[in-house]
Amino acid sequence: MKIKTILIYLLVIVLILCGCVFGAYKYFFGNLTHDDSFETAVDDAVDRLAVNTYDTLEQANIKNIAIFGIDSKSGDKGRSDATMILSIDYEHNKIKLCSIARDTLVYIPDKDVYEKFTHAYAYGGAELAVKTLNANFNLDITDYVAVNFSEMADIVDMLGGVQVDLTQGEINYMGDNGKSLSPGSSVTLNGAQAVAYSRIRYLDNDNMRASRQREVLSCIFSKARSMSATQYPGLIRQGLGMCTTSLTYAEILEYSQILLKDGLTLQQNALPGDNVEAWGGIMPSSGAWCYIYDLHDASDKLFSFIYEELYTNSDVVIPEATVDASFIP
C-alpha cells in the first residue's frame, strides 16, 4: 500500500474520531449555558474572605459552589428563589448542602444596602449574589450554578419519581398536583408534584421550604448514585440543560467524578436552622419582613459544617458580623 493511501486512511480515521468526540461533546454540553462574563468578575466576587487568610482552610481539598434556584423560564432573571452552598468535600468524602434562607437580612455590596438576601440576585445576578454570600458569611466562593427549578420535573420523572414525607398541610398547598396524593412517609412524587412540593411557601416558614427543596435534591442524589452507567448520559444531558454556570466543562467533569467514589455521603444543613438563634422583624427601610440573626455566629456554624475539624482545630478568626441583633426593629 502506498504511503499516500495510508496517510489518507489515517486522516479519515482521525476525522471520524474527531467527529465522534465533537458529537459526544454536543450531546452532553450542548444545552448548557456557560456564563463567560462571570469569569472576568471572579476577583470582584471573592470579597471579604476569612478563608483565604488562613492556610489551614485555604489548602483544604474542599470546593464551595453557590447554587441558585431560579424559578423562571429563562433561568437568569428575577430573585433567587432558593440558595444553597454546595461543598464538594474530598477531605471527608462527602457532598454537603447548606440552605441560606431567602429572607435573611444581609449587607448587599455595591448597592450598599441592608435587604433580604434574595434581592441580591435581582440587583446584580449571580455576581452580586456571590459577593453577598462571601461578604456576609466569609466564604471563598468563586463559582456558581443557577438551576431552573421549573424544569426539574423532567429529571424527577427520568429517575422514576422521588420519595418524601408528606403531610396533609403540604398537600393542601400543592394545588391540582396534590389531588391524587395522601399523607404519609416515603410518598412517591412525580416531576410536576415534586416541583409543586418544592415551591410550597405559605404553609410554614422559609426554613421548612428550604428543607423540602433539599429533601427532593437528596432523593435525586441517592437515585442518581444507584443508576446504571448506561443511564448517566441522558441524566447528565437533561441536568445540564437546566443550568447556567460559571464552571467550565472540564471542571464539571472533574467535580462530577466524586459521585463514583465508594462510601460517599450527603449531608444537609440550613441557616438559620436550629443552631442559630434567629429573630424576625419588619424593616423600617423597606417595610419587608426579614430573618435577622447574627451572621458571625452563622458563619461559625457554617464553617464547622463545611470544614469540620479543619476549622474547629484551627486558629481562624471570623470577622465581625455584618448583621446582628442590633438590627432588630
Whether residue 328 contacts residue 169, with contact meaning beta carbons closer than 8 Å, is answered with no
Helix, strand, coil percent values for the chain (each to nearest 5)? 45, 20, 30
DSSP string computed for 62-95: EEEEEEEEE-SSSSSSS--SEEEEEEEETTTTEE
Q: What count of residues does the chain have?
A: 329
What pLDDT does residue 86 have? Answer: 92
Q: What is the CA radius of gyration of the chain?
A: 22
What pLDDT does residue 27 have? Answer: 47
What pLDDT does residue 133 have? Answer: 93
What pLDDT does residue 43 have? Answer: 56
Q: What would the pLDDT profile of 233-270 be if each residue is shown by its tens digit?
A: 666 666 777 778 888 878 887 887 787 788 888 888 98
Q: State which residues of the chain have pLDDT below 70.
A: 1-32, 39-55, 71-79, 149, 228-238, 284
